[in-house]
C-alpha cells in the first residue's frame, strides 16, 4: 500500500511544486512506483511534466483529478503514464478551482482520500502537490495523507505562516486524521554564499530539531528552467546541483518511509542496493547534500508537535 505524502505550505513560491515534481522524478529514477497528484488548480506540476491541458477549460472535456473527484470517471482512467517510468501523473485542470466550493459541503473532508484510495495499491508513494492556501482542497489533502513534507524557503520571513500551518495540522489530527505525521521540513532555495540563507537554514533546524531533512535544496537556475521545457530536472540537467539535491532527498525519503528504492548514480542510472527493509537508519545513510555537507541526522518521524514548538514561532 503506497505511502501518501502531501507537499504543503500555504505560502506560494516556496518550492512545493518544484519539490513534488523533482522528488517524484528522482524516486521513480530509483525504481519507486510514484504517482504525482496535482491538486493545485494552477496546474503547475502538470505543466512541469509537459502534460499541458487545453487553456480553455470550457472546451476541454472534464478530465484529470477534478473529473475523478466529481465521480464522472473512474480515477484509474485519469492517471497518465510519463516518459519517466515508473512515474505517473494525475493531472489538474483549472476546473479544480471549483472543487473548493463543491467540497466545502462535506465536513469530513474525505473526498480526496476516497478518490485516491483505489490507486494506493498500485504505487509505492503518492505525492500530492497542493495550492498555496489552507483552503478546503489543502485540508482534503491533509486528510488523505499519511505524512507531510513542508518546503520552507531559506529567506527572511521563512517561518512566518508556519505557525498557522502547524496549528492547522494539529486541528486536522485532532478531528479528521489522527495518523498524520510530519515527514520533514525541507529547506529550499538555499544560497550558501549568503549569511541570511545560512542563518535561516540553521534557525529552521534549531526550531524543529529532528524534523528537518539533511538535504538542503540549493537555489539553482536549472531547477527554475526545467518546467518551461516540461521536464523534471533529473532529465533536463542530469548533472547539476539541483538534480543532485533532489536525488539526495529521494534517498532520505526512501529511507524514512522504507520504500523499495534502488538508488542511482550521479547520472541517474540505477544502482542496486540492499532491500529497503535492510537499509540502516542513521546519519551514514544521509548523503552529503550539495553545496555543503550537513552533519544532522536523517529525519525522525514524530507523531505530534509540542506546544513549545508552536510557542517558538510566536
Ligand atoms: P510553489 O509551488 O510553492 O508555489 P514553486 O515550486 O512553483 O513554488 O517555485 C516557485 C518559483 O521558484 C518557480 O519559478 C520555480 O521554478 C522557482 N524555484 C523553486 N525552487 C527553486 C530552486 N531551488 N532554485 C531556483 N529556483 C527555484
Ligand atoms: Mg505550486
Question: How far is 13 from 171, CA to CA, in rounded Å?
Answer: 25
Mean pLDDT of the residues in the chain: 85
Q: If you measure from the C-alpha of residue 21 to the centroid of ligand 1, how many angstroms do you get, rounded to a whole number?
A: 11
Kindly report, residue by residue over 174-206, the tens digit of the pLDDT. 999 999 999 999 999 999 999 999 999 999 999
Atom of ligand 1 nearest to the CA of 217: 23
> Could you give the C-alpha distances from 3 to 180, 271, 291, in angstroms and in order?
11, 23, 29
**Domains of the chain with CATH codes:** 3-311 (3.40.50.300)
On the question of pLDDT at 72 being above 70, the answer is yes
Kindly report, residue by residue over 52-64, the tens digit of the pLDDT. 655 554 545 567 8
Kindly report the pTM of this predicted structure.
Answer: 0.86
Q: Rounded to the nearest 10 degrees, how much is the dihedral formed by the CA atoms of 22, 220, 165, 146?
A: 20
On the question of pLDDT at 107 being above 60, the answer is yes
* Mean pLDDT value across residues 154-164: 86
Residue minimizing CA distance to atom 14 of ligand 1? 224
Kindly report, residue by residue over 259-276, the tens digit of the pLDDT. 999 877 777 776 755 444
On the question of pLDDT at 168 being above 80, the answer is yes
Q: Which ligand is nearest to the CA of 240?
A: 1
Ligand 1 first shell, C-beta below 6 A: 12-18, 44, 132, 188-189, 217, 219-220, 223-224, 227
Amino acid at each position: 500500500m503506497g505511502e501518501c505524502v502531501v507537499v504543503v505550505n500555504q505560502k506560494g513560491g516556496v518550492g512545493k511544486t518544484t519539490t513534488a515534481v523533482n522528488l517524484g522524478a528522482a524516486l521513480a529514477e530509483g525504481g519507486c512506483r510514484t504517482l504525482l497528484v496535482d491538486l493545485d488548480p494552477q496546474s503547475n506540476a502538470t505543466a512541469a511534466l509537459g502534460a499541458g491541458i487545453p487553456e480553455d477549460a470550457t472546451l476541454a472535456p472534464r478530465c484529470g483529478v477534478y473529473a475523478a473527484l466529481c465521480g464522472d470517471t473512474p480515477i484509474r482512467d485519469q492517471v497518465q503514464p510519463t516518459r519517466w517510468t515508473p512515474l505517473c501523473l494525475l493531472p489538474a485542470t483549472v476546473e479544480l478551482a471549483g472543487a473548493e466550493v463543491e467540497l466545502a459541503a462535506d465536513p469530513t473532508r474525505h473526498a480526496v482520500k476516497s478518490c485516491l484510495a483505489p490507486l494506493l495499491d498500485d504505487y509505492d508513494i503518492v505525492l500530492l502537490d497542493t495550492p498555496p492556501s489552507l483552503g478546503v482542497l489543502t485540508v482534503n489533502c491533509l486528510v488523505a495523507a499519511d505524512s507531510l513534507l513542508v518546503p520552507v524557503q531559506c529567506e527572511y520571513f521563512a517561518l512566518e505562516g508556519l505557525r498557522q500551518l502547524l496549528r492547522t495540522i494539529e486541528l486536522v489530527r485532532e478531528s479528521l486524521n489522527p495518523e498524520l505525521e510530519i515527514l520533514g521540513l525541507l529547506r529550499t532555495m538555499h544560497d550558501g554564499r549568503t549569511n541570511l540563507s545560512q542563518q535561516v537554514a540553521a534557525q529552521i533546524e534549531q526550531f524543529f530539531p529532528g524534523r528537518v531533512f539533511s538535504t538542503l535544496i540549493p537555489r539553482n537556475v536549472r531547477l527554475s528552467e526545467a518546467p518551461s521545457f516540461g521536464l523534471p530536472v533529473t532529465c533536463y540537467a542530469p548533472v547539476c546541483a539541483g538534480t543532485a539535491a533532489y536525488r539526495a532527498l529521494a534517498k532520505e525519503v526512501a529511507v524514512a518511509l522504507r520504500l523499495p528504492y534502488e538508488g542511482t548514480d550521479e547520472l541517474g542510472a540505477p544502482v542496486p542496493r540492499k532491500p529497503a527493509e535492510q537499509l540502516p537508519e542513521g546519519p551514514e545513510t544521509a548523503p552529503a547534500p550539495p553545496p555543503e555537507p550537513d552533519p544532522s541526522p536523517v529525519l525522525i518521524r514524530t507523531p505530534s508537535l509540542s506546544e513549545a514548538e508552536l510557542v517558538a514561532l510566536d
